[in-house]
Amino acid sequence: MSVLLRPEPVAIRRPDTPAPTPILQMKGVCKGYGSGVTRTEVVNNINLNIREGEFLAVVGFSGSGKTTFTQLVAGLIKPDKGTITMEGEPVTSPSPDRGLVFQNYSLLPWLTVRGNIALSVNSVFKDWSAADRRAHVERFIDMVGLSHAAHRRPHELSGGMRQRTSLARTLAMKPKMLLLDEPLSALDALTRAQLGDEILKIWEEERQTCLMITNDVDEAILLADRIVPLNPGPSASLGPAFTVGIDRPRNKTELNDSEHFKSLRNAVTNYLVAVRQKARATEQAATKHLKFRLPEIKPEDLTRKGRAIHNQPPR
């Protein structure tokens, strides 16, 4: 008889009882691309602590450096300056400890829903019996509501179903921290809302440490314990944290009537708009003194006698 090895239960820690040490720490992190005059400083002096069991959302406009930020936390790129540590250990490369869900699904096209999830489970839980691994895969397929489509390949799935598969694959690996990189942004509005609700429900059951990067303030308030704005780049830095003091379990329909929800949405949005205006004004002031001279080019008369004109229609 086989016994399903259930993963260790995740410690539930309420946001108002902080862990002694943060699970993830970023200290003075800077990252830029290029060199010399073409150098762009994308993020600058990022300092952030993520507590165990916390759902933290980093919110920023398009182009503010969100992808660069995610890649740094995932260990896909290294900071130029500063340090990133997870449970005290430097983050130097990707690890199953930080499960990443991308906006573009990244499923293997030749594998089914079940096959995609099983591939990750088999690689992470090598010491489990085959029966335990199979049961674990089925549990996560069921959790994201895809039991009816477990035999389908990615091209036979809708965008929402692909993202559910991607989410189940990452959750099934039981990472210590879940990294959601704009997980809903490729979806249409209705699917986006539905999957947002599902992520909320799953997270409220699992209480896994989660860092979500998003451009959607409403989504951040619905899901997160804390919201940290990413001030727009170049040299993007983090703004002050906004605490989401809305009780869980949360209900989106009820949130729409909540005064706290409305005032928080206004506060975060107003902050982001103000810092963007400031960044634009600073950029304009910095480039105001630059004078661009057009090169002195003498126009040539192409109709001069003796010159071949190739674009004349045939007589």
Ligand X SMILES: Nc1ncnc2c1ncn2[C@@H]1O[C@H](COP(=O)(O)OP(=O)(O)OP(=O)(O)O)[C@@H](O)[C@H]1O
By CB under 6 A, name the binding residues for ligand X.
33-34, 40, 42, 60, 62-68, 233
Q: Which two tokens stand for residue 67?
A: 């992808």
Q: What's the min distance (Å) between Cβ of 65 and ligand X?
A: 4
- Select 116 or 214, whichever has its Cβ closest to ligand X: 214
Cβ atoms of residues 129 and 2 within 8 Å? yes
Question: Rounded distance, CA 287 to CA 291, Å?
Answer: 9
Q: What's the min distance (Å) between Cβ of 25 and ligand X?
A: 21
Q: What's the min distance (Å) between Cβ of 311 and ligand X?
A: 38
Residues 6+ apart with CB under 8 A from 180: 101, 199, 210, 211, 212, 213, 214
- Select 50 or 59, whichever has its Cβ closest to ligand X: 59
Strands 81-86 and 89-90: antiparallel
Cβ atoms of residues 60 and 43 within 8 Å? no
- Select 71 or 191, whichever has its Cβ closest to ligand X: 71
Q: What's the min distance (Å) between Cβ of 231 and ligand X?
A: 11
Q: What's the min distance (Å) between Cβ of 94 and ligand X?
A: 17
- Select 206 or 216, whichever has its Cβ closest to ligand X: 216
- Select 39 or 151, whichever has its Cβ closest to ligand X: 39
CA-CA distances (angstroms) from residue 162 to 67, 70, 77, 219? 21, 21, 26, 20
Residues 6+ apart with CB under 8 A from 105: 154, 159, 162, 163, 165, 166, 186
Q: What's the min distance (Å) between Cβ of 280 and ligand X?
A: 14
Map tokens 């007589």 to a residue: 315
- Select 120 or 237, whichever has its Cβ closest to ligand X: 237
- Select 42 or 137, whichever has its Cβ closest to ligand X: 42
Q: What's the min distance (Å) between Cβ of 213 and ligand X?
A: 8
Map tokens 């990452």 to a residue: 170
Phi-psi region of 292 (alpha: psi -120 to 50; beta: other; left: phi over 0): beta
